[in-house]
């Protein structure tokens, strides 16, 4: 199971990295062409925007698994150990319900947009809006993979799948 998790995390990371590289190349080529030839690629801004959307949704699970999202931990810190575990369990359950709802809403929205096309690329908006259900599905998988150590010990995992020790959820503790 650990090996499958590492493969999943690695593939997710590489997908985000490739999207970032593609976006960088497209924007860089567009800037270069604009200054060298006074012409730009008409589709470059649109492609970069959609790659950014896909990167954001695809990378959110990677950030979740290492505790990188913002959280306020005053209540959790004030509770005894059992209370902290129950609170973290409720938070995981609430997140799973919310992420599942967003997958459902994302699928509906993507289906509604399947016949409209983007202005420059002429790509069906279905492919743009599919980032939402795909991203939230990845969030569900990442959360399920870290749920046990998160609930029981309040620990997150590093990107390679190992526990990072007790970490405060998120970057903003208040």
Once rounded to an integer, what is the mean pLDDT over residues 140-165?
82
pLDDT score recorded for residue 170: 46
User: Does pLDDT of 9 surpass 50?
Assistant: yes
Q: What is the pLDDT at residue 153?
A: 87
What radius of gyration do the chain's Cα atoms show? 19
Is a pLDDT exceeding 60 seen at residue 81? yes
Mean pLDDT, range 43-55, rounded to an integer: 98
User: For residue range 20-40, what is the model confidence (pLDDT) as tens digits?
Assistant: 999 999 999 999 999 999 999
Q: Where are the domains of the chain?
A: 2-159
Contact 55, 15 (CB under 8 A): no
Calculate helix-pair angle for 2-37, 131-153, nearest 10 degrees: 140
Name the average pLDDT for the chain.
91
- Which residues neighbour 23 within 8 Å (Cβ) at sequence distance 6 or greater? 47, 48, 51, 52, 55
């Amino acid at each position: 199971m650990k090996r499958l998790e590492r493969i999943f995390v690695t593939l997710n990371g590489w997908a985000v990295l490739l999207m970032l590289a593609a976006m960088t190349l497209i924007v860089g080529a567009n800037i270069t062409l604009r200054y060298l030839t006074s012409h730009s690629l008409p589709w470059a801004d649109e492609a970069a925007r959609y790659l950014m959307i896909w990167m954001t949704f695809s990378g959110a699970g990677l950030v979740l698994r290492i505790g990188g999202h913002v959280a306020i931990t005053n209540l959790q810190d004030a509770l005894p150990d059992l209370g902290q575990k129950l609170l973290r369990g409720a938070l995981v359950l609430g997140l799973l319900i919310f992420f599942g709802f967003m997958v459902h809403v994302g699928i509906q929205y993507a289906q509604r947009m399947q016949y409209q096309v983007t202005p420059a690329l002429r790509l069906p908006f279905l492919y743009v809006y599919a980032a939402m259900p795909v991203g939230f599905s990845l969030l569900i998988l990442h959360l399920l993979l870290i749920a046990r150590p998160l609930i029981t010990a309040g620990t997150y995992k590093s990107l390679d799948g190992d526990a990072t020790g007790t970490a405060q959820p998120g970057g903003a503790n208040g």
